[in-house]
Amino acid sequence: MDNSQITHWCHEIIHSQVKEGGRYIDATMGNGNDTLFLCELAGEKGKVTAFDIQEQAVEHTKALLEHHGIRENFQLVLDGHEHMAEYEEPGSVDLICFNFGYLPGGDHRIATQPETSIQAIETGLSLLKHGGMMSLCIYSGGDTGFEEKEAILEYLSRLPSKNYTVIVNEYCNRKNHPPVPVFLWKK
Ligand code: SAM
């Protein structure tokens, strides 16, 4: 297995930073791979709330969790991540995971959008505990374009350093607009 692939890399960092048994949000459920990872990390004592705007994503994720025998510690929400404050209390969340873009194997025209993505990040910051973490996988090029990546990186670069640490990673020798993994901590 290639552990340098963006999703593995993000999972490795999350695993090294986040306590098991916490409260986690998967802001972009998609086919459920991140939700499954977070449910396993959460264990019986933790909880995962996962969002997507597509019924197909919720169905795929439900089936994946069932296949892996995960039955209890999650809530799958058919709603935009920009509404996540309706589901969690401010300052209560240990980790929020974003994997922007479109549903792999689905309709590429239904994808995360700069405006709602930034709203969701901003709301997510208010839900994070102090010491909590956000992981963001940002894609660009192809059907995704560049607008969302530029808007998110610009927004993150303006966050005050006294309140947040933001680390932007780069695949510096990969061609064709490689994804950008970003990790953020709320101080
Ligand atoms: N985490 C997923 C996985 O492990 O398979 C991959 C996520 S996929 C790259 C991006 C997902 O974001 C798509 O399923 C898409 O429907 C979803 N999405 C788009 N806009 C959204 C929004 N406003 N709120 C929540 N999800 C959204």
pLDDT in tens, 10-51: 999 999 999 899 999 999 999 999 999 999 999 999 999 999
According to the 3-state scheme, what is the secondary structure of 58-73?
HHHHHHHHHHCCCCCC
Pocket of ligand 1 (CB under 6 A): 28-34, 51-54, 57, 80-82, 99, 101-103, 110-112, 116
| Backbone φ/ψ region at 41: left (φ over 0), alpha (ψ -120 to 50), beta | alpha
Tell me if 33 sits within 8 A of 67, measured CB to CB. Answer: no
Backbone angles phi, psi at 86, to 5 degrees: -75, -10
pLDDT digits (tens, 9 = 90+) for 88-123: 999 999 999 999 999 999 999 999 999 999 999 999
Pocket test for ligand 1, best of 6, 26, 29, 122 (most atoms within 8 A of CB): 29
